[in-house]
Amino acid sequence: MKDREAEHPALEILITSDEESGLVGAQKLEKNFLSGTVLLNLDSETEGVFTIGCAGGMDINLVFPIKREKVPEGFVIRKFSIGGLEGGHSGIEIDAGKANANVLLLRAIRKFNLAVPELRVGELNGGLTHNAIPREASAILAGPKSRLGTIRSALDEFSSAIIEEFGDIEKNFFAKLEEASPPRMGLITPAYQARLIDALRLIPHGVKTKYLNNVDSSMNFAVLRDKEETVEVLANRRSSRLSPGADFSDIVAGLARIYGGSYSTGNHYPGWEPNENSDVLKRSRRIWNELFGTKCGVELTHAGLECGAIGERFPGLDMISFGPTILQPHSPDERMHIPSVGRIRLFLRELLGSYRSYNQGKTQ
């Protein structure tokens, strides 16, 4: 916009809000708001790779009822924490083999409960947002003081197993028990606790189906929270095709019914069907090769992109997505490769220049 020497057709610059929380701004665009016919989306994360399609998805809310009671006499309270995990983007990194803190938390609780049947659960807490693989999770546990040694032995066995399974990726994983105050809301009663842990252990996480060697449908067990009378789960389901996604949702809804919980959906965002014969893709391939002497890559991403929402509202748009290299998005280690910013800017300028007499001044 500031480059006075750049040649290009008339442009529409669309800046949306709340993309990370569910493509909210893009999904509220009004009819006839845009007049252009070509969309260049600056939201992909690998320099030299053009995205031509993406997954759609939705948030899934599960609520399980519980009852609580006071801490029994002679029980001691401990906080059990899992942390140090890599985390990351729940779409593009869902097949990277990273551990999910919520899944590990429940797996550990089940192991402790098998070793010490009297073990009780007070509070459950894990994850932060729908589109990030959880890095941390914790629970308040209570049990007889005489059985603490048994629980610690179970914790050592659990930690060794996780290191063996995920050690190549999760190099900073830890699991620990610490002294803690009694839970404010009390402990979940034994009958409700047994059913709850069964239900939570069955919530899917990871890749469900693949199509043409790409991730087709997946789920992220994203957030775990408890209240006085309920335990609530936020999951995010993604799918490139409608039918596998709908089937996955039906499975999770059935799980909620079996265990006496409720199922509802939140943010929905549509997918973006690829067009390998698009004019903008042909231009992009040619210009990238001319500028840098290398062939570009082309991908379908399992992440959600605003192209799906915008394309649904404005059918017929010729769309492509690209951007500078970004590593470990949706984690505290997110970072951008600075030299790639300049190359992407140069490419964008040349791509826009190729449209300078486009359709006698129509905007893009």
Question: From the CB of residue 233, how many other CB atoms can be counted at a distance below 10 Å?
Answer: 24
pLDDT per residue, tens digit, the chain (364 aa), is 888 888 999 999 999 998 877 778 888 899 889 999 999 999 999 999 999 998 998 999 999 999 999 999 999 999 999 999 999 999 989 999 999 999 999 999 999 999 999 999 999 999 999 999 999 999 999 999 999 999 999 999 999 999 999 999 999 999 999 999 999 999 999 999 999 999 999 999 999 998 878 898 999 999 999 999 999 999 999 998 888 889 999 999 999 999 999 999 988 888 888 888 999 999 999 999 999 999 999 988 898 889 988 998 899 999 999 999 999 887 888 999 999 999 999 999 999 999 987 654 455 5
Q: What is the C-alpha to C-alpha distance for residues 193 and 183, in angstroms, rounded to an integer?
A: 15
Pull the structure tokens for residue 48.
């030299």
Pairing of strands 297-301, 262-269: unpaired
Residue of 336, 330, 337, 335 whose CA lies nearest to 86: 330
3-state secondary structure of 172: coil
Q: DSSP letter for 48, please.
A: T
Question: From the CB of residue 1, how many other CB atoms can be counted at a distance below 10 Å?
Answer: 6
Q: Under 8 Å CB-to-CB from 355, ≥6 apart: which residues?
A: 8, 9, 38, 364
Entry pTM: 0.82
Domain 24-55+272-361 falls in which CATH fold?
Aminopeptidase (3.40.630)
pLDDT at 361: 46
Q: What is the C-alpha to C-alpha distance for residues 218 and 305, in angstroms, rounded to an integer?
A: 16
Domain assignments of the chain as residue spans, ordered by start: 24-55+272-361, 58-268
Q: DSSP letter for 71, please.
A: P
**Which letter, b or e, does each residue of 249-271 get, where b requires 16 or more Cβ atoms within 10 Å of its Cβ?**
beebbebbeebebebeeebebbb
- Among left, alpha and beta (phi > 0; psi -120 to 50; other), residue 166 is alpha
User: What's the distance, CA 320 to chain centroid?
Assistant: 22
3-state secondary structure of 13: coil
User: 58-268: which CATH architecture?
Assistant: 2-Layer Sandwich (3.30)
Q: State which H helix or E strand residue 284 sits in.
A: helix 279-292
Q: State which H helix or E strand residue 83 sits in.
A: strand 75-83
Number of residues written out for the chain: 364
Q: What is the C-alpha to C-alpha distance for residues 8 and 188, in angstroms, rounded to an integer?
A: 64
Q: What is the C-alpha to C-alpha distance for residues 147 and 169, in angstroms, rounded to an integer?
A: 33
